[in-house]
Amino acid sequence: MLKSLVFSLMAVQAAMGSRFAMYIDQYHTVDLPGSDQTQEITHAIMAFAPSKQFNTDSSFTPFETVEAMRKRFGPDTKVMIAIGGWGDTAGFSDGAKDEASRTRYAKNVATMINNLGFDGVDIDWEYPGGNGEDYRKVPNSQKTGEIEAYPLFLEAIRDAIGKDKILSVAVPGKRGDMIAFTKEQGPKIWSSVDMVNVMSYDLMNRRDNVTNHHTSVAGSLDTIKAYKDIGLDTAKMNLGFAYYAKWFTTDPNSDCAEHPIGCAVVTLENPDGSDTGKSGALTFEKGNMASPPDNLKTSTDGTCGYAKGTKCPSGSCCSQYGNCGTGDDFCQAGCLSDYGECKGISVTDSWRRALKDGKTDEQAGGQYYWDSTANLFWTWDTPEIIDRKFKDIVTAEKVGGVMAWSLGEDTLNWEHLKGMQKGLGQ
């Protein structure tokens, strides 16, 4: 008996920190790795199904079949579907509002995952209770009912899909966005789910007015502790990692040269909550990181960039989204100077300076760079920071697993994926 207890304890300890959930989004499917590079990934989460889809009996078709997705991973990897995502809250709000709507929504989710062969579902509601992308148009005061409805919504989905299917949730990293995650509601939420994907990144966003790390050891640890405080067992948590850097335009009159962390930024969000175009993200893809191909052709269909192998015609700019044009949306911040002209700053050139001269905030455990030429502040994870997160958070706090967004955003050399695989092997 004692021997079996010892082996059971060893098994639990071995499993601690071994869960690896990976999002695969529909917009980054070029150059995805083969199964020989993804063996450590235990949960592959395809993103996204629209939240409104399940308020009716309409069918859903994912961007790739479950069978095709399974071939990208090891034989034991669970393939799941994520519902929602940033800016997609209306369907959840409607689905959660009363018992009848919750029952209908849950039944449709269960039907979908069973018919398509998914192993589970991830509810990515950003965010119940408010502070989502629509917070200026639909104020938080109109969403207070979601605080109590959210755990009931998850309970209905759990009942509908059964215990053989996996139910996970993606939850905010910033304390100010944890409106529905209270000490009273927390235990009701956690009891329905198998794992919690903690988005411990985007800790600086366009609603902030001074620079800070969008992801760091200190920031991620604070997020983990916030959820511990409302009753979430760390064994259910997946610590989140971002496969992208973020940049923010700083105020030319600020003191960023002396104090790059905590210096003023320009207005990053319009009064209606929309983006001013003065901040953004840059993924660790070949298209953003690698030198352009030698045989670039001139675009004939209005698209541009590394993946297309095309540049814009003379006088035209290539936007950060890979489209040619001449307006500010194409030629200002985010413009890809390797594939067209740019007016003003080039985010690509600034990022290259950041990579070359980036600095480590040893105390906070974050990588950053302030570009005085472009007045841009950069913040991102390096393999060294990833290693620290495993040691100082995953191991120290006995976190049950890790998660990353998203696989197709690390295609240059997979150094962030490899960094996480190394951390899991320690």
Q: What residue spans define the domains of the chain?
A: 2-245+382-425
How many angstroms separate the CA atoms of 265 and 268, rounded?
A: 8
Q: Which two tokens stand for residue 115?
A: 């018919």
- Residue 10 — φ and ψ, nearest 5°? -65, -40
Write down the residue that tokens 């309409």 correspond to. Answer: 58
pLDDT score for 4: 44
Query: What is the dotted CATH code of the domain comprising 2-245+382-425?
Result: 3.20.20.80
Q: Three-state DSSP class for 341?
A: coil
Helical H segments across 196-308, by residue range: 217-229, 286-289
**pTM of the model as a whole:** 0.94
Are the C-beta atoms of 217 and 176 separated by less than 8 Å?
no
Query: Residue 244 in contact with residue 281, Cβ under 8 Å?
Result: yes
- What does the pLDDT profile of the chain (426 residues) look like in tens digits? 444 443 333 333 344 448 999 999 999 998 999 999 999 999 999 999 999 999 999 999 999 999 999 999 999 999 999 999 999 999 999 999 999 999 999 999 999 999 999 999 999 999 999 999 999 999 999 999 999 999 999 999 999 999 999 999 999 999 999 999 999 999 999 999 999 999 999 999 999 999 999 999 999 999 999 999 999 999 999 999 999 999 999 999 999 999 999 999 999 999 999 999 899 999 999 988 889 999 999 999 999 999 899 999 999 999 988 999 999 989 987 889 999 999 988 888 999 999 999 999 999 999 999 999 999 999 999 999 999 999 999 999 999 999 999 999 999 999 999 999 999 998
Q: Which residues are CB-neighbours of 229 under 8 A, at least 6 positions away?
A: 183
Cα 386 to chain centroid distance, Å, stands at 15
**Cis bond before residue 406 (omega within 30° of 0):** yes
SS (H, E, C) 218-239: HHHHHHHHHHHHCCCCHHHEEE
Burial zone of 400 (CB within 10 Å; 0-12 exposed, 13-18 middle, 19+ buried): buried
Which structure tokens are listed for 326? 């001449």
**What are the CA-CA distances from residue 238 to residues 183, 222, 224, 246, 300 (Å)?**
20, 14, 10, 22, 44
Take residue 233 and report the two structure tokens written for it. Answer: 């067992």
Give the pLDDT confidence score for residue 140 in this predicted structure.
98
**What is the pairing mode between strands 120-124 and 78-84?**
parallel
